[in-house]
C-alpha cells in the first residue's frame, strides 16, 4: 500500500510537537500594525495550539 502524502500547505503553516499537538502562528499580524496596540502586537508574536476537530483534521493532513 502507498504511503499517504503530507499536505504541502499544512506543512508550511503548522507544526506537530512531541505530544502530537498542532502549533501555528496567530492571525492579524501582517498589515495595519499602526492601528494595533503594543500589547496586542506583543501577544500576537506568541504561537497558539489548535483545538478540537480542527486540530484532528490538520493532524490527519500531516501523517508524518
pTM: 0.74
- Predicted pLDDT of residue 64: 83
Residues with Cβ < 8 Å from 62, sequence gap 6 or more?
6, 7, 10, 11, 14, 16, 22
When pLDDT is averaged across residues 34-54 and rounded to a whole number, the result is 95
47 pLDDT higher than 90: yes
- Give the rounded percent of residues in the chain with a pLDDT score beyond 90: 80
Amino acid at each position: 500500500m502507498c504511503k499517504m502524502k503530507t499536505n504541502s500547505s499544512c506543512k508550511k503553516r503548522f507544526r506537530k510537537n512531541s505530544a502530537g499537538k498542532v502549533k501555528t502562528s496567530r492571525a492579524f499580524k501582517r498589515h495595519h500594525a499602526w492601528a494595533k496596540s503594543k500589547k496586542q502586537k506583543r501577544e500576537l508574536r506568541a504561537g497558539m495550539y489548535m483545538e478540537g476537530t480542527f486540530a484532528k483534521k490538520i493532524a490527519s493532513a500531516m501523517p508524518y
